[in-house]
C-alpha cells in the first residue's frame, strides 16, 4: 500500500506539472512582479488575485487557466477545463512608478487546479511574469496535503506543508475555513517579507494539511503526521502551526511555530531548512559549540578565516558566552540577526553567514537535491554531520 500510494502521488505530481507553464516570461524585462492570491485555498469562495510591481511600468495583466482532476482510485487524470483566459488588466494612463493590481474571481466545482499568471508590462514591451498553481474547490484526494502555491514539480522544489494545531480548527469549523484564511498571512505576510525567501520563492511549493493535529509545540518528538505517508512523501519541511505563545522546536525537517509571530516562523525555518545554529548562548539552547557550522565557529581563528569570504571584517568575530563558548560573526545588537540575541527585535533578519547557508541550500535544490537536510554531509567542510537533536 505504501508503495502504491507513493506511486500514485508521483504519478499525480507528474501529470499535474507535465502540462507545464505556457507563459514563462520572454523578452527583456525591466522589473519583477510578485503575485499572490487569497484565500490560498479558495474552495467554493471567491478568490482575490493580486500582484505588485515597481519600476517604470505600463500595466499588469492577469490570466488564468483551469484544470480538472479526476481520480478513480488508481490513476489521476488532468483535463484542461478552459483555455488560457485573459481576465483582467490594471492599466493606468501612461506609465507609473509602481503598480498594485487585484481582481476578485469566483470559481465553481471541486477538484480543480488554477494556474495563475500575472504579467507586468513595461514601456517598450518588456515584461516580467510570475506563474503558479493552486487548488480550487474541494481537493479530491483524501489525506493528501492541498497545494496552495505550486511553482515546481514537488521533486524539484522545496515543499513546505503547513499542519494546523487543533486549536486553529475549532469544532464548529471542521473544514478549517478559519485556518485557510490565514495561510496567506504565513506565506505572503511572513515568509515573503524576508528577502532570502521572497527572492528565491520560485523554488518553493506550499501545501497545507486539511487535517488538524493536537501536538505539543515544545516537544518535537511528539509531532505526529496527520496524513500518514502522503505528508511524508510531499513535505521537505512540515511546519506545525499553533496559536499559543510557546517555546518552539525544530527537529530534522519538522518544526513548530506560532501562526502569528514571524520571528518564530523564520527562526525555526533557519534551523530546519538551512541547518543553522542558534547564535545565542543560553542554558535552554541545546546547541553546544561546533566547528565549521554554517553560522557558528569553534575558534577565533576559524571565524577570522571565514570573515573575508563573507565580506566581513575579521574584527567582527565575537565570542559567545557564558554557557557555550563559540564564535559568531553575523550582526548583533541593533543590526539584528534572526538566529541570535536580536531574533525578537522587529528588524531582525539573517546575517551574511546565515544567508550564505540559505543560498547553498538553494543551489543544492537547483542541482536536484531539494530536501531540507541539515544533517547530511553534502556540504563538505561547510556542513559536517551533526546529531539529530531538537533545536530550540
CB of 259 vs Zn ion, minimal distance in Å: 18
Nearest to Zn ion of 115, 278 (CB atom): 278
Q: In this structure, are residues 220 and 142 in contact, taking their beta carbons and an 8 Å threshold?
A: no
Gap between the Cα atoms of 386 and 372, Å rounded: 14
Q: Which span (94-102, 143-151, 276-284, 328-336) binds Zn ion, by CB under 5 A? A: 276-284
Taken in order 13, 16, 20, 25, the sign of the CA dihedral is negative
Residue of 104, 86, 115 lying closest to 47 (CA atoms): 104
CB of 204 vs Zn ion, minimal distance in Å: 21
Q: Which span (46-54, 157-165, 278-286, 308-316) binds Zn ion, by CB under 5 A? A: 278-286
CB of 236 vs Zn ion, minimal distance in Å: 19
Q: In this structure, are residues 43 and 180 in contact, taking their beta carbons and an 8 Å threshold?
A: yes
Ranked by CB distance to Zn ion, the top (closest) residue is: 278
Nearest to Zn ion of 53, 256 (CB atom): 256
CB of 156 vs Zn ion, minimal distance in Å: 29
> Does residue 304 interact with Zn ion by CB under 5 A?
no
| 107 membership: H or E segment, kind and range | none
Q: In this structure, are residues 171 and 178 in contact, taking their beta carbons and an 8 Å threshold?
A: no
SS3 letters for 330-347? CCCHHHCCCCCCCCCCCC
Nearest to Zn ion of 116, 194 (CB atom): 194
CB of 348 vs Zn ion, minimal distance in Å: 12
Binding-residue total with Zn ion (CB under 5 A): 1
Q: Which span (66-74, 180-188, 270-278, 294-302) binds Zn ion, by CB under 5 A? A: 270-278
Q: Which span (49-57, 128-136, 204-212, 272-280) binds Zn ion, by CB under 5 A? A: 272-280
Alpha-carbon distances, residue 233 vs 19, 184, 261 (angstroms): 22, 23, 28
Q: Which span (136-144, 273-281, 324-332, 372-380) binds Zn ion, by CB under 5 A? A: 273-281
Binding to Zn ion, residues 74-113 (CB under 5 A): none
Nearest to Zn ion of 58, 278 (CB atom): 278
Q: Which residue has the cell 515543499?
A: 159
Gap between the Cα atoms of 386 and 356, Å rounded: 19
CB of 30 vs Zn ion, minimal distance in Å: 40
Q: In this structure, are residues 379 and 356 in contact, taking their beta carbons and an 8 Å threshold?
A: no
Q: Which span (87-95, 109-117, 275-283, 381-389) binds Zn ion, by CB under 5 A? A: 275-283
Nearest to Zn ion of 23, 261 (CB atom): 261
CB of 341 vs Zn ion, minimal distance in Å: 11
Gap between the Cα atoms of 76 and 7, Å rounded: 11
CB of 125 vs Zn ion, minimal distance in Å: 48
Gap between the Cα atoms of 87 and 63, Å rounded: 5
Contacts 24+ apart (CB under 8 A), 45-48: 45/106, 46/104, 46/105, 46/106, 46/107, 47/104, 47/105, 47/106, 47/107, 47/114, 47/136, 48/102, 48/103, 48/104, 48/105
CB of 339 vs Zn ion, minimal distance in Å: 7
CB of 175 vs Zn ion, minimal distance in Å: 34
Nearest to Zn ion of 31, 288 (CB atom): 288
Nearest to Zn ion of 278, 349 (CB atom): 278
Residue of 299, 292, 275 lying closest to 391 (CA atoms): 275
User: By three-state DSSP, how is residue 243 classified?
Assistant: coil
Nearest to Zn ion of 275, 352 (CB atom): 275
Nearest to Zn ion of 230, 278 (CB atom): 278
Residue of 123, 54, 47 lying closest to 88 (CA atoms): 47
Nearest to Zn ion of 148, 220 (CB atom): 220
Nearest to Zn ion of 108, 284 (CB atom): 284
Q: What is the DSSP-derived secondary structure letter of residue 276? A: P
Choosing from 236, 278, 306, 330, the residue that interacts with Zn ion (CB under 5 A) is 278
CB of 390 vs Zn ion, minimal distance in Å: 10
**Please, which residues bridge with residue 80 across strands?**
67
List of residues contacting Zn ion (CB under 5 A) = 278
Amino acid at each position: 500500500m505504501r508503495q502504491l500510494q507513493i506511486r500514485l502521488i508521483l504519478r499525480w505530481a507528474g501529470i499535474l506539472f507535465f502540462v507545464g507553464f505556457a507563459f514563462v516570461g520572454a523578452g527583456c524585462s525591466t522589473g519583477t512582479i510578485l503575485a499572490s492570491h487569497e484565500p490560498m485555498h479558495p474552495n467554493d469562495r471567491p478568490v482575490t488575485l493580486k500582484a505588485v510591481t515597481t519600476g517604470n511600468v505600463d500595466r499588469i495583466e492577469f490570466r488564468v487557466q483551469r484544470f480538472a482532476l479526476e481520480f478513480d482510485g488508481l490513476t489521476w487524470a488532468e483535463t484542461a477545463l478552459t483555455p488560457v483566459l485573459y481576465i483582467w488588466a490594471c492599466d493606468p494612463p501612461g506609465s507609473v512608478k509602481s503598480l498594485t493590481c487585484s481582481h476578485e474571481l469566483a470559481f465553481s466545482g471541486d477538484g480543480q487546479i488554477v494556474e495563475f499568471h500575472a504579467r507586468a508590462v513595461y514601456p517598450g514591451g518588456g515584461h516580467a511574469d510570475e506563474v503558479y498553481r493552486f487548488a480550487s474547490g474541494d481537493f479530491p484526494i483524501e489525506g493528501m496535503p492541498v497545494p496552495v502555491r505550486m511553482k515546481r514539480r514537488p521533486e524539484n522544489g522545496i515543499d513546505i506543508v503547513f499542519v494546523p494545531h487543533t486549536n486553529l480548527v475549532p469544532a464548529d469549523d471542521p473544514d478549517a475555513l478559519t485556518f485557510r484564511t490565514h495561510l496567506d498571512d504565513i506565506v505572503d505576510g511572513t515568509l515573503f517579507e524576508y528577502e532570502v525567501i521572497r527572492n528565491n520563492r520560485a523554488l518553493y511549493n506550499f501545501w497545507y494539511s486539511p487535517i488538524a493535529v493536537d501536538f505539543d509545540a515544545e516537544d518535537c518528538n511528539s509531532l505526529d503526521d496527520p496524513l500518514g505517508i502522503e505528508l511524508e512523501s510531499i513535505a521537505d519541511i512540515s511546519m506545525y502551526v499553533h496559536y499559543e505563545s510557546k517555546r518552539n522546536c525544530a527537529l530534522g525537517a519538522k518544526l513548530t511555530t506560532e501562526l502569528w509571530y514571524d520571528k518564530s516562523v523564520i527562526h525555526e525555518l533557519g534551523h530546519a531548512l538551512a541547518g543553522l545554529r542558534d547564535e545565542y548562548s543560553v542554558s535552554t539552547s541545546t546547541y553546544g559549540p561546533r566547528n565549521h557550522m554554517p553560522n557558528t565557529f569553534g575558534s577565533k581563528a576559524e571565524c577570522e578565516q571565514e570573515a573575508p569570504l563573507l565580506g566581513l571584517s575579521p574584527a567582527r568575530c565575537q565570542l559567545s558566552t557564558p554557557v557555550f563558548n563559540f564564535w559568531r560573526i553575523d550582526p548583533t545588537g541593533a543590526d539584528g540577526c534572526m538566529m541570535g540575541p536580536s531574533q525578537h527585535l522587529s528588524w531582525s533578519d539573517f546575517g551574511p553567514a546565515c544567508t550564505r547557508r540559505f543560498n547553498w541550500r538553494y543551489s543544492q535544490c537547483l542541482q536536484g537535491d531539494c530536501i531540507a537536510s541539515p544533517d547530511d554531509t553534502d556540504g563538505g567542510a561547510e556542513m559536517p554531520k551533526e546529531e539529530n537533536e531538537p533545536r530550540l
